[in-house]
Chains A and B, each alone.
Chain A
Amino acid sequence: MTLSETIQSIPRLPLDQDGGPVFGAPWEARVFAMTVKAHEAGVFEWREWAEVLGAELAKDGDGSDAALGYYDHWLNAFETILGAKGVAGSDQLKDLKAAWDDAARATPHGQPIELVR
């Protein structure tokens, strides 16, 4: 999709002009908010975060043939920084992922998925 298709050129009032969805999916909003909150809780400096995210995004070169979306990189970077800070080990995350996967499979379609711990 080109930029001009993404942005409708019709000017809109500040109150309701959004330029389309800011987040492509709810998980993107979730990981964004978790990053801000983890920063506020003192897990990392914002400067450190910018460096890790920048390094992650730089893997795509200039990004012109990027295979991953912006928030895919964001999520990779978030896992990286939490690992580096000793907050989230890859084994812990792997176990939790498996637990969530089991919970989803045990949940009838349409029901909220809950993790029983």
Chain B
Amino acid sequence: MSHDHDHEHSELSDIELRVRALETLLTEKGYIDPPALDELIETYETKIGPKNGAMVVAKAWADPDYHARLMNDATAAIAELGFTGRQGEHMVAVENTAETHNMVVCTLCSCYPWTVLGLPPVWYKSAPYRSRAVRDPRGVLAEFGVSLPEQTNIKVWDSTAEVRYLVVPQRPAGTDGWSEQKLAELVTRDSMIGTGLALDPSKLEEAA
């Protein structure tokens, strides 16, 4: 590549050229449709987010029957709310208790339950998170500002292309009688990956 940049014309980086070449080829062969790509990106960026997952968790907190169904067969329970995976992945819900804290990682290919959590955050895909979460989960949690009692076991779940995990965080105290909608506001994306806890109800009031 020439180093005497001429700023009069446009320039695409090597990687952008590769991506455009692929898009042109796949479009010409009829496998993809550029406007559908835009729509998909938009959906993942803004429409799904972690809202779907938060609704699942809030319903499990509020409705014991739904809770039982979720723990028994998360794929079906999540589908009840209309959220089904694009890749046909199998979902498993793991629940945090005073004794056990669950945390999800993918050590190899960063599989992520997009349907319920939207797009993975940058750090989830980062090599340091992937390798350290398994070796030193307590240290990683500390970096996220989460410190758990010594006696709490930390269980790290390695998601795969076939099985993806949804952490059900502990329901915060002081939320008796709350509606599912209000409860869902306490459920952060990180709390469903296990790198965070559900929000404190007092924080929600401050933010509101």
Contact residues of A with B, CB < 8 Å? 2-4, 6-7, 9, 11-15, 17-24, 27, 29-34, 36-41, 43, 46-47, 49-51, 53-54, 57-58, 60, 62-64, 66, 70, 72, 75, 78-79, 82, 87-88, 92-94, 96-97, 99-101, 104-111, 113, 115, 117
Shortest C-beta distance, A39 to chain B (Å), equals 7
Closest to B86 in A: A36
Residue in contact with B15 in the complex, picked from A17, A54, A75, CB distance below 8 Å: A75
CB interface residues, B 102-156, toward A, < 8 Å: 108-111, 118-123, 125-131, 140, 143-145
With a CB–CB cut-off of 8 A, which chain B residues contact A17?
Answer: 50, 188-190
Contact A22 B121 (CB under 8 A): yes
Contact residues of B with A, CB < 8 Å? 7-12, 15-26, 28-33, 36-38, 40-41, 44-45, 49-51, 54, 86-89, 108-111, 118-123, 125-131, 140, 143-145, 160-162, 184-185, 187-190, 195-196, 199, 203-204, 207
Contact B128 A64 (CB under 8 A): yes
Given A46-B161, A70-B110, verify A88-B12 contact (CB < 8 Å). Answer: no
- A to B CB contacts below 8 Å, 6 in the list: A6-B123, A7-B195, A62-B127, A78-B22, A93-B18, A100-B12
Closest to A41 in B: B31
Contact B9 A34 (CB under 8 A): no
Shortest C-beta distance, A78 to chain B (Å), equals 7
Closest to B127 in A: A63
With a CB–CB cut-off of 8 A, which chain B residues contact A24?
Answer: 122
Contact B126 A115 (CB under 8 A): no
With a CB–CB cut-off of 8 A, which chain B residues contact A109?
Answer: 7-10
> Chain A contact residues: over half helix, strand or loop, or mixed?
helix
Bound Cα distance from A66 to B129, whole angstroms: 13
Bound Cα distance from A40 to B31, whole angstroms: 9
With a CB–CB cut-off of 8 A, which chain A residues contact B195?
Answer: 7
Bound Cα distance from A30 to B39, whole angstroms: 11
With a CB–CB cut-off of 8 A, which chain A residues contact B87?
Answer: 39, 46
Contact B17 A11 (CB under 8 A): no
Given A11-B188, A19-B123, A34-B37, verify A97-B15 contact (CB < 8 Å). Answer: no
